[in-house]
Structure 1
Amino acid sequence: MPDVTDGARSAVRLEPWEDDPSFLELLRRNNSPEMTRHLGGPESEEKLLDRHRRYAGLAESGRGRMYRVVLLPEEKVAGSIGFWEKEWRGGTVYETGWGVLPEFQGRGVAAAAARRVAGAAAAEGAHRWLHAFPSVDHPASNGVCRKAGFTLLGVCDLDYPAGNPIQCNDWRLELIERR
């Protein structure tokens, strides 16, 4: 997948998720209390292994894709991002979510990766909209949505993980114009 530059701030490459120990290790790093504070806290090792298997099989399912984010030119793994199908308000849309490791935060990595993943979702040609649902109390992720060109639709209530109510902002990006 070609590299993408976010102005002068960052360039990233998205690498498709693989059933490989290095990808599982990235999930473990993303599972810290600091990284999951807005998501209900860390998951068990068993849940991480299930998540890793789902991520590795997502592209084959035709319902989305997950990626490892690599910061360039350093060639350092900086986080993960993806998109997947979600039933939302009477239709099917893509949802996106990301995690950028603490040492790479504040450098435009997530915004560059979000724009890149929007292009990948648009290329699938399956859905008109890409949504992101960051917690209302997560200013960094809401800023990523704004910088990546999403439009804020309003506040909504979701459960994530299941059984953990969370108040989110519903951000939406039209994919048709990106094809």
Structure 2
Amino acid sequence: MEKTRLRLEPWSDRDFWLLERTNEPVMTEHLGGPESDERLRDRQRRYEALSAREPAAGRMFRVVLEASGDSAGAIGFWERQWRGEPVYEAGWGILPEFQGRGLAVAALAELLSYVRAHGSRDRVHAFPGTDHPASNAVCRRAGFECLGEVDFEYPPGVPHPSLDWRYRVGPRPAVTPSG
């Protein structure tokens, strides 16, 4: 089977439609259900603001199929503290009509390459629910290490049994003064 080629395009003000699609019940089944329109508009503003910051702060991307130009989903990473350490958290969603083709794994590989090139933290975590075998398989296939079960809050304030998956991007080179 030929591997589908894709690219990641930075999130923009024109991508609200994709956010609406990833907010459908089938896409949010393992995330506590769809968000209200107000919360979705706030999420859009956060995604746009993240894309306006320096690359090491994180990014949201549209997953675009090379051959057709179709938007297949969204993926991103952002800064967070986890167990006292500065790490990145990653999240993704591939639209139902594009699932089952390995696109989430391919998009995650592209995202990790971006983090490797632009990030300032050496670990990326993902926290799919224990009840979400597809997302856990994506983590495993992308080379993440499972650190075990945790009660992860998502949405905030709602503990959800999840698996803590970690990917080591590698140590960041030390910045040396020039001159």
Report the TM-score when normalising by structure 1: 0.91
Structure 1 or 2, whichever has the larger Rg, is 2
Q: Which amino acid aligns with 1:149?
A: G
* Cα deviation 1:94-146 (Å, max 9, x = unaligned): 00000000000000000000010011111123101011110011010011111
The question of 1:50 aligning with 2:52 is answered: no
Aligned to 1:85: 79
Counterpart Cα distance in 2 of 1:46 and 1:87: 26
Aligned to 1:34: 26
Contact 1:94 1:121 in 2 (8 A): no
Q: List aligned pairs for 1:142-157, cutoff 5 A.
A: 142-157=136-151
Counterpart Cα distance in 1 of 2:115 and 2:99: 24
Contact 1:119 1:178 in 2 (8 A): no
User: 1:165: Cα distance to partner?
Assistant: 1.5
* Cα deviation 1:6-32 (Å, max 9, x = unaligned): x83321110001112xx1000000001
1:72 is matched with which residue: 66, 70, 78? 66
Q: Which amino acid aligns with 2:84?
A: G
Question: Structure 1 stretches (4+) deviating beyond 4 angstroms?
Answer: none
The question of 1:109 aligning with 2:91 is answered: no
Counterpart Cα distance in 2 of 1:125 and 1:51: 22
Structure 1 stretches lacking a partner, 5+ long:
1-6
RMSD: 1.6
* Cα deviation 1:50-83 (Å, max 9, x = unaligned): 1001001103333210000012312111000000
3-state SS of 1:41 partner: coil
Aligned to 1:19: 13
Say if 1:73 and 1:177 are closer, same or farther in 2 by CA, change over 3 A.
farther
User: 1:178: Cα distance to partner?
Assistant: 9.9
Aligned to 1:4: none
Q: Which amino acid aligns with 1:40?
A: G
Structure 2 stretches lacking a partner, 5+ long:
174-179
3-state SS of 2:34 partner: coil
1:99 is matched with which residue: 93, 104, 112? 93
The question of 1:132 aligning with 2:116 is answered: no
Say if 1:24 and 1:14 are closer, same or farther in 2 by CA, change over 3 A.
same
